[in-house]
Chains A and B, each alone.
Chain A
């Protein structure tokens, strides 16, 4: 447990000191969202209709942006060898890495989302449900992303490869996330919001199991 917490603390500290982690993701998020109104034009109704979808798409892409460094840094300086050799199960290491990635990328993005929602004329009453849906769904982005990052750990400039590998697994998060947010804004027959949130939660819970196990298997295969 001690080692698990120490690994998370170290990852967060590294991300904060080096920059380029959460900060870069938030800026990318900001840039994508702020150019959307310029491209679409000043149609406020249209903007508020597409706001949930745009925000979720931008969230996904921003999270992808920082994934390639998840294991690469440790592989380059030899840390990964020691992590692999240690007594801590590799699954826990991947889990710690995923959680640290979420803390440094997911959380800043969720905090930034309402501000960017304003740029897209997202109604105020939609902010709360959107942040909630993002909090439920975004851990899945980090944990599923960790699998892609583990698979591409030996590949130089593996960012593109990771995106290709991971994006299909992000699709359920996107679909349920957007539908939960949209259902909160427009009166949809049935409890659409609740059901979408539950499915979103299911995806995240699954990723908590699949992510570490698949990630650890990928790391083992890659190092040999």
Chain B
């Protein structure tokens, strides 16, 4: 469903639309960022090069890059090639894109997978800060993300 919201999968029936103040606000590609199971991290590039590419791709400022590196504790790792990172570090590098692009809508598909407890807390703080700024988060998760006042939609029960 997150992929459908992200516009990566066709919707068979019904429609998904963003409501905004103007026409420009309504495009998913300018408003949302998807973070899925795959980290979209290029192993041969260093952490810094990975981050810099996405910053250029999203047209973000250097301030965003620094904030993303600091926010996810990647500053010390920035000169390392991404293939020596652990799964959790790669996940954080993937999630760092959320801060780089700085879009109002975050689409998160199990963001806590392979993160340690400390990182999950950090992610919780960042998500809370995002919400406090008026952002929107749509997340699929198996664990409690620790967001106060989150509305839950439970799927299944019969199936897996």
Contacts and interface: CB of A to CB of B under 8 A. Distances in A.
Q: Do A and B bind each other?
A: yes
Interface of A: 2-3, 5-7, 9-10, 13-14, 17-18, 76-79, 81-88, 223-224
Contacts of B53: 6-7, 9-10
Given A81-B40, A83-B57, A85-B32, 19 more contacts: A3-B56, A10-B45, A10-B49, A77-B40, A77-B41, A77-B42, A78-B39, A79-B42, A81-B3, A81-B36, A82-B40, A82-B57, A82-B97, A85-B7, A85-B8, A86-B57, A86-B58, A87-B30, A224-B8
Contact of A14 (B7, B30, B37, B44): B44
Would you list the 7 A-B pairs with minimal beta carbon distance, nearest first? A78-B38, A6-B56, A17-B44, A78-B40, A79-B40, A224-B10, A3-B57
Contacts of A84: 7-8
A120 B103 CA distance: 58
B59 interface: yes
Interface in B1-48: 3, 6-10, 28-30, 32-34, 36-42, 44-45
Given A3-B56, A3-B57, A85-B6, A10 B29 contact: no
Contacts, number: 77
Interface size class on chain B is 20 to 34
B31 to A, nearest CB: 10
A224 B44 CA distance: 29
Contacts of B30: 87
B45 A17 contact: yes
Interface of B: 3, 6-10, 28-30, 32-34, 36-42, 44-45, 49, 52-54, 56-59, 94, 97
